Amino acid sequence: MTAGFAADERHGICYATVGGGGRETLVRVEFACRPLPVLRGRDVAYYALDALAGELLRRGVERVEIHVDDEYLSEDLKQRRALPSPLTVPYVTLRCRLNRFDQATVRRADGAARDLTARAQAEVFLNVAA
């Protein structure tokens, strides 16, 4: 599955393609986030994936491999490295949510993830469903 997301001070949107083999479904999830400019979107990534993971768990999904266009998130989760202090709570929250799956992996991706991110950005900035 591929995910793209964006947020402003009012709201955030995450789009993800779920499924495969020509049977992909587009999922849209809203989330709350007050992005801090100094984090350059890292906080948005955490909140977006937490919201997406929650939706997938509600749908009964047990295994996920999420591809995102974010240079830090997958490494943060894989290496459990030191984070800026404003990311501590979102990191723990996301990690706990991902641990509820039988298997969960987050990987860096390009292409389709950028398309979904552009769609989310358009909706957030225009404040209309894209």
How far, in Å, are 1, 74, 102 from residue 109 at the CA level? 10, 10, 22
pLDDT reported for residue 128: 56
pLDDT at position 129 over 70: no
Structural domain containing residue 33:
2-126
pTM confidence score: 0.89
- Confidence band for 127, pLDDT divided at 50, 70 and 90: confident
Contacts of 22 (CB under 8 A, 6+ apart): none
Domain count, the chain: 1
Tokens of 13: 């949107």
- Per-residue pLDDT of 95-106, as tens digits, reads 999 999 999 999
- Per-residue pLDDT of 27-63, as tens digits, reads 999 999 888 888 887 899 999 999 999 999 999 999 9
CATH code assigned at 14: 3.30.420.10
